[in-house]
A and B are shown apart, each in its own frame.
Chain A
Amino acid sequence: MSAQPNELATYSAQFERYANALTAAERAPRSVQFSRFLASGFPDKHQEDWRYSDLSRLAEQNYEPDVTTAEVSPIALLPDADALVYINSHLQDAPSTSRWHSDTCELPPPTTGVDALNAAFASGGLRLRLDRGTRLDKPLQVLFVSRADLQASMSHQRHLIELGDQAEATVLLDFSGDGSERLATHFFDVRLGRGARLRLYRIQNEKAGGTLMTRIDAKLSRDAKFEAVTIDLGGGFIRHDLDIALAESGAETTVAGLYAQAKHSHIDNHVRVVHAAAHCTSRMNYRGLVDEKTKAVFNGKVVVQPGAQKTDSEQRIANLLLSRKAEVNAKPDLEIYADDVKCAHGATVGQLDEVALAYLRSRGIAKDTARAMLLRAFALEILDRIEWPALRARIESALHLPSELTVDFEA
């Protein structure tokens, strides 16, 4: 598990160059993180959480720091939203309309693996801090565009979303890439004050070739509400960690996700909800459409800590395997250390309903269209959670789903 002497040498060389440009005060905490990274190395398949997403291949890579600052177009900015646009890790002033950016970031206590690598090199990024009782009047779209550099490059960013008591915001984390040989890691520190409400969308549309890893750590105070919708459309090697701590009573979270992958992709979602206080509610609902030569990993875990009585938790995972060459590893997991709780969980892996397909065809609908209609029906539960019409339309069109007909006979 720990790195051999000459492994990670390229990372050491990059770090030395990077650290030399820092002041001594800046350098010290970074060095601590980097030493931790060297000691742990990249996680491999012997670590349970990385069993299906072995990163040891990254040890041999030589990623330069990213330098791209070029404007790119067209950029998929959604209407009626403020925007922050990053190309690789660089803020683009022109298309950005939001002021919620910071060049610097806070570092976490020493950690290991990818988190330590991120902390050692990280630059700033989104820094959204809302005072008590304030509300973001428009949704905030944060675009992370991954573009080819002169050489294979890496970017590491740390972000903060901190909502004061009763504050409210809608944020879209919008990842896209051109499939160039890059490594990008993002850490999001999310803190919700009492009664605060955050609606977070995380959309990923990377292309085969890129490596993207995100971690969102959310901590909810009393009566806070965190609603997350995550959609993975693209390919590449993707790992998402979403950790939600329901720290005080009355906190509530709903997480809904869809992974519908492009060919030759690897998408690993780890979602963990910790009920640390009594009277908290969590809902987890993930659906996967897994097609040819792709691998999907979903690990959903709910932990009910001692004293977290009256916990109400439910996790559901459903997968449709669309090809014999697809692979899915879905695992719901439940750890309960309290006795007065309501917890339900279930996971399914199935195939397209042939009877329904035959029925649609018997009405004259071509096989491909009928299939697309059924895929849409499967994804609908998750798509319905997107309460942002322009975003939903964009995702449906990216999924190549036929539009659903809504009619009003009274009109």
Chain B
Amino acid sequence: MLEINNLHARVEEKEILKGLNLSIKPGEVHAIMGPNGSGKSTLSNVIAGREGYEVTEGSVLFDGKNLLDLEPEIRACEGIFLGFQYPVEIPGVSNMTLLKAAINARRKHQGETEIAPNDFLAWVRDRAKLVKIDPKMLSRGVNEGFSGGEKKRNEILQMLVLQPRLMILDETDSGLDIDALKIVADGINALRGPTRATVLVTHYQRLLDYVQPDYVHVLARGRIVKSGGPELAKELEEKGYGWLEAA
């Protein structure tokens, strides 16, 4: 599904990713862990196509297509979703307006007609229930006045509504209390299936207690320095990252 080869990327002249390789197949859940500054967020942002990240070498293929040629909105329409570490507030654009515009953009991209208003309402209402967001909050501006936990749950709601095929969650677990963490994990698990893949970018092992990964990778100094199964996350929790960075 996603093939990353020898990826080098810069932010403001500073090389952050230095030859990263990663292969993800449908149905898999990958956790990417690593110390601060190792390039975890850069990797997420390069895949999602955010501006300000310059790829200097290597390739990223999604279903065999060169992802780096596509505008960020086209990547989203193709089924890539990035859950942000710091979701932005947009007063004046309601959550419902965003969700509807996003759904219809995707449908248009796939040659489908716009969603019927009643179907849309029912679809959103059921998913809002899952992440325990009061539908009334959805008439407000995007993330406007939301608490940190509500913003993260709102990211998961958007993900549930849009049903992406590749979900990248950039430190979605950071700053969450245990109840919010469980809600976020339930949302991720609800979408788990043989046709979808998930990338959990995280600093801590905590989220992985609720979302069991198939693979764990350690990112350090712009490369994946170690890969393993779920047991690797536990090892990192005990030993820290020092032993790998030194290696």
A358-B72, A359-B88 given; A409·B125 CB < 8 A: yes
What residues of chain A lie closer than 8 Å to B226, measured between beta carbons? none
B48 at the interface (CB under 8 A from A): yes
- The total of interchain contacts (Cβ-Cβ below 8 angstroms) comes to 92
Contact A363 B125 (CB under 8 A): no
A386 to chain B minimum Cβ distance, whole angstroms, is 15
What residues of chain A lie closer than 8 Å to B215, measured between beta carbons? none
Contact B136 A409 (CB under 8 A): yes
- 3 A-B pairs with least C-beta separation: A377-B92, A364-B76, A363-B102
A366-B105, A409-B135 given; A377·B73 CB < 8 A: no
A-B contact pairs, 30 of them (CB 8 A): A356-B90, A358-B50, A358-B72, A359-B88, A361-B71, A361-B73, A361-B76, A362-B72, A362-B84, A363-B76, A363-B101, A363-B105, A364-B76, A364-B77, A364-B106, A365-B98, A365-B101, A366-B73, A367-B73, A373-B93, A376-B93, A377-B141, A380-B92, A402-B97, A404-B94, A405-B94, A405-B96, A406-B139, A407-B96, A409-B125
Q: Write the A72-107 contact mask toward B (1 if CB under 8 angstroms, else 0).
A: 000000000000000000000000000000000000
A70 at the interface (CB under 8 A from B): no
Contact A377 B88 (CB under 8 A): no
A358 touches which of B51, B109, B125, B141 (Cβ 8 Å): B51
Contact B88 A355 (CB under 8 A): yes
A354 to B88, CA, bound (A): 11
What residues of chain A lie closer than 8 Å to B90, measured between beta carbons? 353, 356, 359-360, 374, 377
A370 to B29, CA, bound (A): 31
A364 touches which of B50, B91, B135, B162 (Cβ 8 Å): B162
Which A366-390 residues sit within 8 Å CB-CB of chain B? 366-367, 369-370, 373-374, 376-378, 380-381
Q: Name which residue of chain B comes closest to A381, CB basis.
A: B92
A374-B90, A377-B141, A406-B139 given; A361·B96 CB < 8 A: no
B81 to chain A minimum Cβ distance, whole angstroms, is 8
B121 at the interface (CB under 8 A from A): yes
Contact B76 A362 (CB under 8 A): yes
A402 to B135, CA, bound (A): 22
A406 to B96, CA, bound (A): 8
Q: Chain B, interface size: which category?
A: 35 or more
B158 at the interface (CB under 8 A from A): yes
Q: Chain A, interface size: which category?
A: 20 to 34
A359-B88, A364-B106, A373-B93 given; A405·B100 CB < 8 A: yes
| SS of B interface (majority) | helix
**Residues of B in contact with A (beta carbons under 8 Å apart):** 48-51, 71-73, 76-77, 82, 84, 87-88, 90-94, 96-98, 100-102, 105-106, 109, 121, 125, 135-136, 138-139, 141-142, 158, 162
A26 to B141, CA, bound (A): 59
| Known contacts A356-B93, A362-B82, A377-B93; 10 further A-B pairs (Cβ under 8 A) | A359-B142, A362-B49, A362-B72, A364-B73, A364-B77, A365-B73, A369-B101, A374-B90, A402-B101, A404-B94
Q: Name which residue of chain A comes closest to B83, CB basis.
A: A362
A369 to B98, CA, bound (A): 11
What residues of chain B lie closer than 8 Å to A364, measured between beta carbons? 73, 76-77, 102, 105-106, 109, 162
B212 to chain A minimum Cβ distance, whole angstroms, is 27
A290 to B162, CA, bound (A): 34
**Residues of A in contact with B (beta carbons under 8 Å apart):** 353-356, 358-367, 369-370, 373-374, 376-378, 380-381, 402, 404-407, 409
What residues of chain A lie closer than 8 Å to B51, measured between beta carbons? 354, 358
Contact A367 B102 (CB under 8 A): no
A374 to B82, CA, bound (A): 21
A380 to B94, CA, bound (A): 12
Contact A407 B121 (CB under 8 A): yes
A16 to B121, CA, bound (A): 69
A359 to B143, CA, bound (A): 12
Q: Name which residue of chain B comes closest to A403, CB basis.
A: B97
Contact B72 A369 (CB under 8 A): no
What residues of chain A lie closer than 8 Å to B82, measured between beta carbons? 362
What residues of chain A lie closer than 8 Å to B141, measured between beta carbons? 377
Contact B96 A373 (CB under 8 A): no
Contact B88 A365 (CB under 8 A): no
A355-B88, A377-B92, A409-B136 given; A404·B97 CB < 8 A: yes
A17 to chain B minimum Cβ distance, whole angstroms, is 54
A355-B88, A369-B105, A407-B96 given; A361·B139 CB < 8 A: no
What residues of chain B lie closer than 8 Å to A362, measured between beta carbons? 48-50, 72-73, 76, 82, 84
